[in-house]
Amino acid sequence: MERLGGRMLAVSVDPQSRNRKVVERNRLAFPILSDQDRKVTAGFGLLHKGGGPGYSDIPVPAHVLVNRDGRIIWRHIAMRIQDRPDPKEEIRLLREKLGS
């Protein structure tokens, strides 16, 4: 992904201290950013209002490709937590969208 000019980030509504532990424990090569106020999640249209415990708002699992201008060029919204796109397909999409 980096060879194509891309960068991977994860966004979680968990506190940064918990995200840091997840990165360290799993030796992730990318950061997990904290979105506790859910502004980023809502901004990307990935908030399920009232879908959580006590009708709280929860994020919807998704993969999003954003260009350098901050525009969404592709996204995969999961129907369940286990629903993940194939990484090879995401690399193919990066090549296609970035013209590489």
The whole-model pTM stands at: 0.77
Mapping DSSP onto H, E and C, the string for the chain reads: CHHHCCCCCEEECCCHHHHHHHHHHHCCCCCEEECCCCHHHHHCCCEECCCCHHHCCEECCEEEEECCCCCEEEEEECCCCCCCCCHHHHHHHHHHHHCC
**CATH number, residue 58:** 3.40.30.10
Residue whose token pair is 């999409």: 93
Q: How many domains does the chain have?
A: 1
Structure tokens at 95: 């090549």
Amino acid present at 53: P
Domain assignment of residue 49, given as a range:
2-98
pLDDT digits (tens, 9 = 90+) for 18-77: 999 999 999 999 999 999 999 999 998 999 999 889 999 999 999 888 887 888 888 889
